[in-house]
Amino acid sequence: MKIFGHKAPLTAVIGLAIIFINIAVALIGPLLVPYTDTQIVGKMFQGISHTSWLGTDKLGRDIFTRLVYGARLTIGIALITTLLSFAIGITTGLIAAVTGRWVDIFLSRLCDIILSIPSLIWALIILGIFGQTLTSLVLTLAFLDSTRVFRLARALGMNLASLDFVEVARLRGEGLMWVVRREILPNAMAPLMSEFGLRFCFNFLMIAALSFLGLGVPLPLSDWGGMVRDDMQSLTLSKVIPTISPSALYPAAAIALLTVGINLVVDWFLSIDARPSGAQAEM
């Protein structure tokens, strides 16, 4: 099967199918489910039934409905965070690569300071100070993740800035921003696109981890990490009472499945980037 002009292996097709299904659920799923994500429809940890396909949570809310609503919120926040982090990281990284020495030193040392402390600890500190809101969550994760994008963009920019076609553009009298926008950025897009998938996966898991710790998506909004935290008790009770739904397993499985799907597609993109071009292959 060919995708984007390249023959895709079965693993990549499976990964794309997982991603598209999750996107479809996030976009139109809430229009199809019979309940709202806060509506109580049964007893606590009620088992699978014709009214609750995956059972209920600790408050009697429908797990399937909350999974669908959680897909929209979890995937949407991760996507917005990744886009914002790439906008910050690419801009600062390419500026550091093509401008003067002092700008590069300042931005690089600032990036090193932030990277010296694990992102989870930074996130816990910042969210603890500024409060648990969607805005603070997105801005915090985007700022922290932009440091990784900065390092990649800076390395790519420095390598490309030394090539002949960039020097020719400068000798023609083209401005610095024109060179960055028209010469350097287009030639750095392939590795940046592969990195985008990895950073999205990282942000997706970070949001789930913060929600599990109680500092992610604020209540009563539904997200997969928060659902796992809220329903952990069901795993213990289901071992004793078989009729109880192990409701914490379903959002955990959704997190794992989407992570696997994204990594399958990213691995395929990386293999495409690593292949030699036609001229190189003939040599």
pLDDT at position 168 = 78
pLDDT at residue 6, as a whole number: 62
What pLDDT is attached to residue 273? 56
Name the residue among 209, 210, 214 with its Cα closest to residue 230.
Answer: 214
Give the CA-trace dihedral at 247, 245, 26, 134, to 10 degrees: -30
Position 86 scores a pLDDT of 94
Model pTM score:
0.83
* pLDDT given for residue 279 in this prediction: 35
Continuous segment of H or E residues that includes residue 85? helix 63-98
Q: What is the pLDDT of residue 149?
A: 93
Give the residue ranges of DSSP H helices in 162-277: 164-171, 176-179, 185-187, 189-213, 224-230, 232-240, 249-274
pLDDT at 283: 34
What's the pLDDT at 5?
Answer: 58
Question: Residue 178's pLDDT is what?
Answer: 77
Q: What is the pLDDT of residue 277?
A: 41
Low-confidence ranges of the chain (pLDDT < 50): 275-283
Residue written as token pair 């985007």:
142
DSSP for 10-70, please give it. Answer: HHHHHHHHHHHHHHHHHHHHHHHSSS-TT-B-SSTT----SS-TT-B-TTSBBHHHHHHHH
Using only the alpha carbons of the chain, give its radius of gyration.
23
Residue 1: predicted pLDDT: 61
What's residue 150's pLDDT? 93
Contact criterion met (CB below 8 Å) for 226 and 63? no
Domains parsed from the chain with CATH numbers: 2-276 (1.10.3720.10)
